[in-house]
Structure 1
Amino acid sequence: MKRLVVLTGAGISAESGIQTFRDADGLWEGHNVMDVASPEGFAANPELVLNFYNERRKQLLEVSPNKGHVNLVALEKDYNVEIITQNVDDLHERAGSKNVTHLHGELLKVRSSADENIVLDWEKDLVLGDLCPKKSQLRPHIVWFGEMVPMLDKAIEITKKADILVIIGTSMQVYPAAGLVDYVKRSTPIYFIDPKPAVSESSFKNLTIIKDLASVGTDKLMKILKE
């Protein structure tokens, strides 16, 4: 069975009603990104950061996977599908995808401030005073600016083995995730699904651009792969 590796970004979750990462003015839900997505921001105002992610978590629990997510699950009948996502939501998992690697963390998990290996499932609000077993404050299980991306090596190994690479709803401008495409074999066909693709046909060898939202674009992808 061929290995189909899918890189997903904010565009696929946007169709479910989840806000994209940040607006054109650099603000995220009205906040300076560094105030709510950096270790320095957390140290300066932990309550603000916790409240910010509490709101994101509530929003996530109110939305559902869309057709783009569901179509990727359907592809598992014919391919060994592995998803590498920049998204911190669990919509791929809720749709039924079996192999999902989260590069930037997971909103429905929290971790110890003292030991990053202590990770807990979490769906309620996280507040000051919520402690890990080592009596350290719990924080969102999110990779913030300036922090290492612990799942990157795994993502690289997955990408290296791709027989087909599909990129959905990401500008391919955010590193290190954008660099993953450099690890596919030269002969690997690449499909780029985005209504406003930030690449051209000449950007990569064997590139096919599908200029559509994830829900429609994955429908078209499935037809192409069956031909």
Structure 2
Amino acid sequence: MTGAGISTESGIPDYRGPGGVWRRDPDHEKLVTIDYYLADPDIRRRSWEYRRASPARDAEPNAAHRALVELERAGRLDRLITQNVDGLHLKAGSDPERVLELHGNMFGVLCLGCGARSSLEEALARIDAGEQDPACLACGGILKTTTVMFGENLSQDVIAEAAEAAERAEVFVAVGTSLQVMPAASLAALAERNGARLIIVNAEPTPYDELAAEVIRDPIGEAVPRLVARLMA
């Protein structure tokens, strides 16, 4: 399972780390909270601009993403559960059938009224043409990216598949995640309770460190390739 920390070496800041987005701009959370988003056109405008400016639009996978592709191709990776919306695991070459994006993906757009789908680039093109808060072309409803905002429910199908994968894991590796956001964080404990060896790779302490068989604090771009080499040995 991966969190924001795996993508920092690709130039995407995390949220809760020392230089994280929320420490630099506490008001940022409103841009990704559904109640604020629905109630305030200005929040929606700022949220679209946040997506436009996101370094994830042009980011490239780093050594950690690529190492997990190697682990998969060696037949040693069952599922790759990610809290990230940056799409970098897919860009690195991970099998889409094995990647479970718990919080969705920022590159799709969904109408909250009729369910029509489009792309982020289409929405940004409309903003460039003068629409600050583009509405659904089919029904006039509110558009948002296909990310799971705070206050929204995760896909029950995705979380159920992630839980099943955690229950059957022999080794569960949590990479670059604070293990503070539920229900994603509980997957580490679920795996450990079912006999998995829990390995945590994260710069900062997590609530689950005491359950872990191994905690690695080294930079993720170095630690994950080394760990993958061990797991494939």
TM range, normalised to the smaller chain? Answer: 0.7 to 0.9
Which protein is richer in strand relative to its size?
Answer: 1
Which protein is richer in helix relative to its size?
Answer: 2
- The TM-score with structure 1 as length reference comes to 0.83
Residue of structure 2 equivalent to 1:95: 92
Deviations 1:146-197 (A, max 9, x none): 2111132232122222222111000111111111123225321222112234
1:13 Cα shift? 0.9
1:200 Cα shift? 6.9
Q: 2:18 matched to 1:37? A: no
Which sits farther off after the overlay, 30-39 or 57-66? 30-39
Residue of structure 1 equivalent to 2:103: 104
Residue of structure 2 equivalent to 1:4: none
- Using the aligned pairs only, state the percent identity: 28
Q: 2:133 matched to 1:133? A: no
CA contact (8 A) 2:32 2:47 kept: no
Gaps (5+ residues) in structure 1?
Answer: 1-6
Which sits farther off after the overlay, 100-109 or 123-132? 123-132
- The TM-score with structure 2 as length reference comes to 0.81
Q: 2:198 matched to 1:198? A: no
Q: Which amino acid aligns with 1:95?
A: A
Q: 2:50 matched to 1:55? A: yes
Q: 2:154 matched to 1:149? A: yes
Which sits farther off after the overlay, 95-104 or 139-148? 139-148
Gaps (5+ residues) in structure 2?
Answer: none
In the comparison of the two structures, how many residue pairs are matched?
Answer: 218
1:144 Cα shift? 1.7
CA contact (8 A) 2:68 2:228 kept: no
Distance in 2 separating the partners of 1:70 and 1:92: 8
Question: Taking CA–CA contacts closer than 8 Å with sequence separation of 6 or more, which of the two structures ends up with the larger relative contact order?
Answer: 1
Change in CA separation of 1:128 and 1:182 when aligned onto 2, cut-off 3 Å: same
